[in-house]
Structure 1
Amino acid sequence: MKKFALLLLSFLATLGLASCTNDVRADIVTTMFTQYDFSRQIVGDKMTVSMIIPPGAEIHNYEATSKDIVAINEAKLFIFTSLEIDQWIGDPSSLGGDDTIVMNLSEHYTLDEHEHEHETLALTLIEDEHEHENEIHYWVDPVVAMQLIDAILENIILVDPANESFYTENARLYKEEIHELHLSFDLWMQDGHVDQEIFFAGHNAMGLFGERYHLVITSLFESFKPDADLTSSELISFTEAVKTAGVHYLFIEELVEPKAANQIKDELLRENYDLTLLPLHAYHNLTKDEFEEGITYVDLFLRNIEFIQTAIGDGN
């Protein structure tokens, strides 16, 4: 079934729909949703854009196929997330054709230390520090995201200088959307919500997002796999952790079945303790339905804001 779906997507791409399917052959080839979205917003209908990781797939364990490598070699621009995320790349200089620009996106941003120096870092109950881990997921900070758009724009102009003004205007408009959401949420946080705490089930990739907005993101069980079944002792331990923290909203990862969180929710329901699960999206990838709907980084940013405001507004 999966092979059939991929073949169907390839067929659709040959009809001129490469920018909105999973056919990896395109002018711009990307490894993850974030740079895929930024690129397609900039180029519009002037170039095709593809994402080699299929919608719904986990990015951290992805292994490129021979088809992916061919697409990269034929691309005008290849954008990857980092050597830590895209470990299959190995030596970037070995990828791409003679005219392919290869772009390591993690080399194209800086963290504003002045803006962050008074901010509260994301914490865990086991008091681990994740500064390096945070920087692996650099794209979750909207201020960084706007820098990434500028960097991608520069390379797109190198590929197609004739349409520079078109690309520049598209990039400006998309950054403006992100900036408006950023300012609005930042003002809301500063209006009595600084250092508020939300709770996360499993691995938290949103550290830089938390730092940006003075939001404490606490992981109730950082090292536990959220898609695994809990033992009876683990269930008791985690339900007690939820009750002790007074949590009534628990955030979960995208694209991961929240078995553990659902077990906790069901167990607490037996005790008449209400727990609502909300997604906190780290922009790794989309579901197939979201991809087909054309969901954007801005859409996910807005969704995150609304869910965080729900949790904080109701006092967790």
Structure 2
Amino acid sequence: MTGMFAVALLSLAACGSGDAGTAAAGPERLAVVATTPEVADFVRNLGGDRIDVTQIIKPNVDPHEYEPTPADIKAIGEAKVVVKNGVGLEEWLDRTIESAGFRGSVIDSSQGVTLREGGHAHAEEHAEEEEAEEGEEHDPHIWHDPRNAKLMVANIEKGLTAAAPAEAAAFTANLSAYQAKLDKLDADNAAAFAKLTNRKLVTNHDAFGYYVDRYDLEFVGSVIPSLDTSAELSAKQLSELVAKIKATGAKAIFAESSLPAKSAETIARQAGVKVVAGEDALYGDSLGPDGTYLAAEEHNTRVIVEALGG
């Protein structure tokens, strides 16, 4: 974010504060800002009609490259609670909160989650350097393991209850019901992958580490060799990925809904495999048209199993 943009946001926060409390839902509801589509869906399931949710990052928008808008700063300035994914995914959030003059509570949904260090590609290519590094980057895509999602929603429920104690019973009941759905998702995913013999996964970027670990898949590589989406394959890395796809017998490259499929298509042609894209693209950093986590994860599992098992 440029300094000029930060100043503009600060000015907007100052002049826009008079609009607080004018939401159609009325002042009885807790005003909550949720950063990512996944977190926003969790918040909606827990809060129900007791809260008003403003979702910052919209579907199929890359969270790694996100720049906050004046509307975002206004929403945060008027909120009582901000809920984030955490693990460094929202690099823009701290400065945006400061610009907004936000004085409410921030819920970090990642608290207590066992984090993966780096990504699969990162770990393989830079293992020696990592041994000497401190403060290693952690993988922020924690929601792709439903067991982590259960911890995330528990953290959110705790924060919502602290902000609105009168609604504690409703939040707790909603948490119990939603965690049961997460347990079913996890069991269904595990059963689907248990029937799969070819478990080799190639994706657009390294977003599925927790998913790969949970369901014992084999990560072959990614078109973007990074946890975020800013990196690019060098010519050498491209050739190595093509060779690895051929050598391992991987069947497909899975595009992602929030990223262009062009590079994946180029590599797939060289490797002689198909690209799974379009409506079948995976939801790596985003959710599907209905905006729900459960449907997105069910979609990912169905697409992967059909492509690798077909």
TM-score category, normalised to shorter length: 0.7 to 0.9
- The structural deviation recorded for 1:111 is 2.3
Q: Match for 2:34 among 30, 35, 38? A: 30
Q: How does 1:1-316 map to 2 (within 5 A)?
A: 16=24, 27-82=31-86, 84-90=88-94, 94=98, 97-98=102-103, 100-106=104-110, 108-111=111-114, 123-124=120-121, 127-128=124-125, 135-189=139-193, 191=194, 193=196, 197-223=199-225, 240-265=243-268, 273=272, 275-278=274-277, 279-282=281-284, 284-286=285-287, 290=289, 294-314=290-310
The residue identity in structure 2 corresponding to 1:259 is K
Cα separation, 2, equivalents of 1:124 and 1:230: 11
* RMSD between superposed Cα atoms in Å: 3.8
Report if aligned partners of 1:123, 1:129 keep a CA contact under 8 Å in 2.
no
Q: How many residues align?
A: 273
CA-CA distance at 1:238 after TM superposition: 5.7
Higher mean Cα deviation, 62-71 or 148-157? 62-71
Distance 1:313 1:257, change over 3 A: same
TM-score normalised to structure 1 length:
0.71
| Residue identity opposite 1:137 in structure 2 | H
Distance 2:215 2:166 in 1: 39
Is the 1:80–1:104 contact (alpha carbons within 8 Å) kept by the matching residues of 2?
yes
2:9 is aligned to: none
Preserved contact between residue 112 and residue 151 of structure 2 (Cα < 8 Å): yes
**Distance of aligned partners of 1:83 and 1:228 in 2 relative to their CA distance in 1, 3 Å threshold:** closer
Task: Please state whether the residue corresponding to 2:125 is helix, strand or coil.
Answer: coil
Find the aligned partners of 1:244 and 1:69 in 2 and give their Cα distance: 49
Give the partner amino acid of 2:215.
Answer: Y
Report if the CA contact (8 A) 2:47-2:171 is conserved: yes
2:18 counterpart residue number: none
1:277/1:208 CA distance change after superposition, 3 Å: same
2:160 corresponds to which letter in structure 1? I
Quick one: structure 1 residues 80 and 248, their matched pair in 2 at CA, closer, same or farther if it must change by over 3 Å?
same
TM-score normalized by the length of structure 2: 0.72
Do the aligned partners of residues 204 and 146 (structure 1) sit closer, same or farther apart at CA in structure 2, a change above 3 Å counting?
A: same
Contact 2:32 2:80 in 1 (8 A): yes
SS at match of 1:218: strand
Superposed CA deviations along residues 230-270 of structure 1, whole A, max 9, x for unmatched, are 999998776555433323222122311110122344567xx
User: Do the aligned residues in 2 keep the contact of 1:31 with 1:51 (CA within 8 Å)?
Assistant: yes
Amino acid paired to 2:145: D
- For the Cα contact (< 8 Å) 1:83–1:89, is it kept in 2? no
Stretches (4+) displaced over 6 A: 224-237
What does the per-residue CA deviation read over 1:143-186, in whole Å, with 9 as the maximum and x for residues that have no partner? 01111101101111122222222222222111111111102322
* CA spacing shift, 1:309–1:143, aligned 2, 3 Å: same
- The residue aligned with 2:15 is none
Which segment drifts farther, 220-229 or 71-80?
220-229
1 CA distance for matches of 2:23 and 2:80? 20
Equivalent residue letter for 1:206? F
Question: Is the CA contact (8 Å cut-off) linking 1:122 and 1:215 kept in structure 2?
Answer: no
The AA in structure 1 aligned to 2:256 is E
